[in-house]
Amino acid sequence: MRISSLLILAWLAVPAVFAEDLSGRNGMGLSPGIAVPLGGAYVRDRGEAALDPGGWYKRGLTERWSLGASYDMYIPGKIRIQNLFGNVYYHILPSSRFNPYARLGMGLSHLRGFSTPREEAVGFKLGGGGDYFFQEDMSVGAELGYHLTGKNSPSGHDAHLFYTAVTVGWWFGGGQAAARPEPAEERFASGAASTVMAKRSMAAD
């Protein structure tokens, strides 16, 4: 019981969690992933679960919203789909070290291995993920979602893909990336409560 009391006391005495506000910050990184064809007979018959490597850039507009761009390439072998998208991100917990988000993307897909040597079509992505900031300017995370390339290519084929990726990012520029200090009153109340809890636990022993 004494060890558990000391652990509780130490945990309550830790400063406020590192808070990551992306306002005015820039991020860029890699997103190695895997994509699986779900629909579109042409792509499903010629594709399989395969590598979908890519990269991304984000610019924080407010603590909740970011804009960005991304590139990825689905390469199962017989066909190839390269995507260059513009993205909008909504950050769900902007003041936490773990920063989950929702993503909506739209852009151009370059298709190879279809009816012509190279085709272009409008594509969309809807997904979500999260960035974990283990340092002020470094993050790791994951993302999954759905990718649609419509039947607006010359051949009329569409592609439906489920994708998942690991993300690694480097952040720079403005914004708020520091521990938010607690007011003196809150620190005092927290410390007093911690001491009382620890004494009660020790007395119970």
pLDDT tens sequence across 103-133: 999 999 888 776 566 778 899 999 999 999 9
**SS3 of 10, please?**
helix
Tokens, residue 52: 């979908």
Q: Number of H helices and number of E strands within the chain?
A: 3, 12
Question: Is residue 127 a contact partner of residue 100, using CB atoms and an 8 Å limit?
Answer: no
- Amino acid, res. 172: F
Question: pLDDT below 50 — which residues of the chain?
Answer: 1, 6-19, 176-182, 184-185, 187-188
For residue 181, CA distances in Å to 135, 136, 138 come to 18, 16, 21
- pLDDT attached to residue 77: 75
- CB neighbours (10 Å) of residue 158? 18
pTM of the full structure: 0.72
- CB neighbours (10 Å) of residue 88? 15
- pLDDT attached to residue 11: 39
What's the CA gap between 21 and 136, in Å, rounded?
Answer: 10
